[in-house]
């Protein structure tokens, strides 16, 4: 089971495979992941799919990773997302 924890900076729930906090864009690991996260689906996205949010998935303009509505930053590359 994947367990989220609150971001040190903004308190938003982040998952172990989130490289960046989607709430404030801070790196959660201190180092970028070696494997681009766009190549696989993060725990955050998987959980969202379980709630039927797949119809609203966005994609990051920088890395192409999946971004949830309301996420202010891509959890894969940390790029700021345009307001949806």
Near Zn ion in 18-47, by CB under 5 A: 21, 23-24
Using the minimum distance from each CB to Zn ion, give the nearer residue, 3 or 52.
3
Number of residues that bind Zn ion (CB under 5 A): 15
CA distance 71 to 34: 22
Contact 56, 49 (CB under 8 A): no
Coil, strand or helix at 5: strand
Closest approach of Cβ 39 to Zn ion, in Å? 12
Interface pick for Zn ion out of 58, 63, 70, 72 (rule CB under 5 A):
63
Residue among 49 and 79 whose Cβ is closer to Zn ion? 79
Q: Judge contact between 72 and 80, C-beta under 8 A.
A: yes
């Amino acid at each position: 089971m994947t367990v989220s924890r609150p971001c040190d900076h903004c308190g938003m729930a982040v998952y172990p495979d989130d490289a960046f906090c989607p709430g404030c864009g801070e790196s959660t690991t201190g180092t970028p992941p070696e494997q681009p996260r766009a190549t696989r689906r993060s725990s955050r996205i998987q959980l969202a799919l379980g709630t039927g949010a797949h119809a609203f998935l966005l994609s990051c303009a920088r890395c192409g990773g999946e971004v949830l509505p309301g996420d202010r930053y891509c959890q894969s590359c940390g790029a700021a997302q345009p307001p949806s």
